[in-house]
A and B are shown apart, each in its own frame.
Chain A
């Protein structure tokens, strides 16, 4: 509601604004970016699963997760390049390495991890150059984990209120989502008897994802309401439902029935995609309303003022 002097009244918050216009710009990213959060997560998570499965003697799972990871590592850069305003300049990402830019760090992680994983997958297929393959697998194992979580840092390192204030949970949330979806991807492709570890990873990751989403929404306070509204809210509801039902199905019948295993992992994958989409859309929604930018900052100013006057 816009009132005198351009004041906006909302539930529990009152502030003034410039004709209700947004203060921060919403991202210019398109669908490729949340799609990459999904594929990059599976790429990194499957790289991790491959390494651990290999070390613990789950050969078939190791092979499957390596191919899943490689496929996703190939798709991911295409998505990112297609989102650029000037795709032909994508190599400019490698002019510099900047620790102050999660996108710079992430580009290097994806390049190294992608190179290593696809090399390992090719050598696995051809059965040649064993030592090179092992080296590539090792690199992929080291760069997989940060690939799953840096995207959380990437969105949190902005002025978008719901992302910036979610910085304590987002890397964890994206890591859990990556574990769930990479577990589900391998479960989908393997017979239940061979998919045990992947299935457990899918169920555990899904639980983590659901819990972390709740924790984040709660801690965000009134900004967290964007996860209940509009497209972000819709995607969050679908994502939570798919993830919960899928994980439940996998835990209940995933070890005995191939059908349940396939359905459950498909649901966890769909849920993961929906949850990434929800985070992406929530960012836009929180940028569009100046309340989310102003109210918290105004509180900060007020608190400083109180502190200063009590000192003086």
Chain B
């Protein structure tokens, strides 16, 4: 098996599913119409029974979630900029040519469900798997919390849900649904695998009041995104660009991709993510040669002295 093979089709899908394979499902998050209501975050938490993860004021605009993690599978980023929303100079009475222009960017981030997913590649237990919808899901009854997927993800999506340390924390987490020995496993967005199985759309997309989060077949979403981008560019929106829609990028395209209004790093996203396992065949070669070198080293040490 060649891990470097960037074919545009996720490994193990749809081939291994045979007739049970479904069309690849995903999200198109159009941030140009996100209003920052965080209904997606709330709906996700409720549906997936995700525990509370700290109630802190970050001081970073309206964002107090701060990042994706074990207990945040949707995260709305808020960016305040002294920049015009549109470059045609007449957006809401603001002249693009002056310094008074101000825009507030909002974007609901989520697991990208990569075509070539590093988390899935490196998972040593097979807990992470590719579903019949082409999405990437952690099987919680298999994950042993080794944590390898956490630094493998180029987007920092996955994280380990820690076991409560103090008695007070234990009390707040002692919900029947969480069971007795939770947790210490890794959690992330499942693209609501359970809802998909029942023929429903994921909770975040269902809750999104502006359809900023659109759920559907990835191919169809890609076509829709191209059209939307053309429209925004024709209207001279400042910085409009698609992120993750290209099947030829470093992860073979995202199953959940975005229309952004500035460069990805402004939203806390990597500008050119690459699945780390692309380099693994060469890395294994280096590892094997270095391993052989340890034998040569020992042999030289044993034979050199003549003792």
Binding site for B on A (CB under 8 A): 4-6, 15-19, 21-29, 44-45, 48-49, 51-53, 55-56, 58, 83-87, 89-90, 92-93, 95-96, 98-104, 107, 144-146, 148-150, 152-154, 156-160, 163-164, 167-168, 171-172, 174-176, 178-179, 183, 193, 196-198, 200-201, 204-205, 208, 283, 287, 290, 293-294, 297-298, 300-301
Instruction: Tell which of B44-52, B198-206, B286-294 binds the partner.
Output: B286-294
CA distance in complex: A298, B271 (Å): 6
A and B contact pairs by CB, cutoff 8 A, 11 listed: A21-B66, A23-B265, A27-B147, A89-B143, A102-B122, A103-B122, A145-B294, A149-B291, A158-B276, A204-B301, A297-B270
Which of A51, A103, A174 has the most B CB atoms < 10 Å from its CB?
A103
Q: How many residues of B contact A (CB 8 A)?
A: 80
A152 engages B290 (CB within 8 Å): yes
Q: Chain B residues with Cβ under 8 A from A294's Cβ? A: 265, 270-271
In order of increasing CB-CB distance, the 4 nearest A-B pairs are A85-B145, A85-B184, A18-B268, A89-B144
Binding site for A on B (CB under 8 A): 1, 3, 58, 60, 66-67, 69, 77, 79, 81-83, 118, 121-127, 142-148, 150-160, 163, 181, 183-186, 263, 265-273, 276-277, 279-280, 282-284, 286-288, 290-295, 297-305, 307
A171 engages B124 (CB within 8 Å): no
B145 engages A158 (CB within 8 Å): no
Q: Chain B residues with Cβ under 8 A from A49's Cβ? A: 298, 301-302
Other A-B pairs beyond A85-B143, A157-B280, A160-B151, 7, CB < 8 Å = A15-B265, A18-B265, A18-B267, A25-B157, A27-B151, A204-B297, A301-B272
Q: Given A103-B148, A157-B152, answer yes or no on A28-B291 (Cβ-Cβ < 8 Å).
A: no
Q: Chain A residues with Cβ under 8 A from B145's Cβ? A: 84-86, 89
Q: Given A100-B121, A149-B294, A297-B272, answer yes or no on A22-B301 (Cβ-Cβ < 8 Å).
A: no
> From DSSP, what is the main secondary structure of chain A's interface residues?
helix
CA distance in complex: A257, B283 (Å): 42
Q: Chain B residues with Cβ under 8 A from A26's Cβ? A: 151
Q: Given A200-B305, A290-B265, answer yes or no on A145-B291 (Cβ-Cβ < 8 Å).
A: yes
A145 engages B266 (CB within 8 Å): no
B302 engages A171 (CB within 8 Å): no
Q: Chain A residues with Cβ under 8 A from B277's Cβ? A: 100, 157
B118 engages A159 (CB within 8 Å): yes
B159 engages A48 (CB within 8 Å): no
A28 engages B159 (CB within 8 Å): yes
B156 engages A23 (CB within 8 Å): yes
Pick the contact of B269 from A23, A86, A150 — CB < 8 Å? A23
Pick the contact of B286 from A87, A158, A168, A205 — CB < 8 Å? A168
B126 engages A95 (CB within 8 Å): yes
Pick the contact of B287 from A27, A149, A287, A301 — CB < 8 Å? A149
Q: Chain A residues with Cβ under 8 A from B124's Cβ? A: 93, 96, 98, 101, 103-104, 107
A93 engages B144 (CB within 8 Å): yes
Smallest CB-CB separation from B154: which chain A residue? A159
A25 engages B150 (CB within 8 Å): yes
Pick the contact of B302 from A24, A197, A287, A301 — CB < 8 Å? A197
How far, in Å, is B307 (CB) from chain A's closest CB?
4
B297 engages A201 (CB within 8 Å): yes
Smallest CB-CB separation from A50: which chain B residue? B298
CA distance in complex: A53, B307 (Å): 11
Smallest CB-CB separation from A283: which chain B residue? B151
How far, in Å, is A23 (CB) from chain B's closest CB?
5
A167 engages B286 (CB within 8 Å): yes
Q: Chain B residues with Cβ under 8 A from A196's Cβ? A: 305, 307
